[in-house]
Structure 1
């Protein structure tokens, strides 16, 4: 037994008609959509949606978008006018059956035409692909032949260069060998002359021999060294207690300035242990345009109290300014999770969360998800002109007219 979908939403202009049908779990591959001039049907078991239109629409210009459990119809009216109702009133069963049969017949005819068109296109593509492949093979063969010829010429040139280099090196070795032979001959002649000269006169060391006393051997011993026990990086003689305290304070401030995630809570000042104080500090930094510092302050506040939705909501605004879009989605989702149950007191916060998350989705080109968040925001405040205008822009983008 199919479940008839009745909680759809529709609106119109003089030329266009918009229908939004919520089907939980609907995807494009598994949903059967039928659309003719006077009949629209969506079959997604166990859900069934059908409507017999009050007037005719232009099927060729109409657009259907399916995704994330929502089906959006954009139908163009054949004659511009404002309809009193979406569907025909008091439609007989015979008329309904006739419209259904006409829709099925048109779909079958369209499917047949599409199949023939696809077959013709496939044959043309195969022929074109064959011609392209033949052309590519011919060009590849020419390229390979050219590369072979270039490699052959390159190998011949390298061989000639190698032979020339070998000849030059052989000539250099021959010259060096000749020079070495001549130098060796000169050294032998000089040595022979020196030997003859030294054999005829007494040695210089024998004439000027000096008796030098040998120094005594050093006595053995040991040296004792004592070190001051220290835990601080520097030795005690190089540092003093006030200087060490100042150094430790600067290290804590540096850790606080660089990253609040690794900051030891013992390094916090008294006011920094208050999440409300950190929230106000983050607001001031955000107003001054220092978004990174604002994120650090809110990170520390969330570490102290992770149940305050305003902290996640404010941090999502900082991430949106920094274009950390995935983190924006995470923070707004966490804020909406904490803003339960939905009551009038938290309506403004929930509105901001939906708008910021919808903006992040649109920046990531996830327009269907963004439109869902903007429509959720409009349910909270239907009179918000800005949100309504932005939702309309997103809807036009989804329909391909933006």
Structure 2
């Protein structure tokens, strides 16, 4: 059952109210503070503060500051006036309940609108990122096309220069060859020397022939040298790869899902190792969840609820898919006044009792009744009535459930 905070302090001026709520909790979060136009709530289990204000405030300008385990409210009034008290005293219960429900509905609507605005902003950001990515890709494509065009022009110019050099070399070789043929023709047509002796004539003729041969060999070698093209110059081709300058699209990224999966795997391995170390000291029958369940049932019947709770806890650690264990542990929490834990175990049992069939109808009735009882103990009668109605739908012939549901209705209506 929650511990209601009554030792709050408040001061007021005609324009504002200053409220200090001490909550001796180890950890107080912003989500635990609830403030609307007529309703204030600070929920930090087991401590709970709730107030239906005397007059409406401007919840947009009002602020709440968490410091040293306390919440300091600065509430600006909509109308400048002094209040007789901070909260509505001796008011109509139905009106106060309606104010609570309106506050919750308003906060839900604001949260929904804020979520839609964030989703729209996220879509706009993704669209902007996609447009920027497309522009980067288009600019990169144009740059590559321009670079290809420049390389093509450069290659064309080099080919034209090579053709011109080749034509000039061929022309030079043709001129040298024609000059050599003219000189050879002149030597053949030159008259012999008549004043020489026969022997000298022979000698001269032989010398002339030898000279012609030697001169012909020199020119032929020169012609061969001129006919061989010059060796090509050495060089190297440099290849540059353009870097990828644009980021990967966000829709292709799976890093958050992978990190979440790895964290879950590490937590599961840690729990398994811890359980294995603790299970080594247990006996064989103590490792059987059915034996532990029977042991817990016997302890519960004897009134030893804390020992029964420990038995159910160990059974759930061994096998956490048996709904009966959660149902029995919820009953222990109810007897020990651990109401929030009773609600959690009943909800877990209902999650495991799926699909709803005739075989698990009785267990589902128990889960709804135990959760409804915990809600009613927390004075959350509307939620408790819903569970009793759900149990009555499963078993319409149970008069006791119908009577309890009618009592809760009268409490909500303020008749009891």
Please tell me whether Structure 1 or Structure 2 has the larger radius of gyration of its CA atoms: 2
TM-score bracket, normalised by the shorter chain, equals 0.3 to 0.5
Q: TM-score normalized by structure 2?
A: 0.35
Q: TM-score normalized by structure 1?
A: 0.36
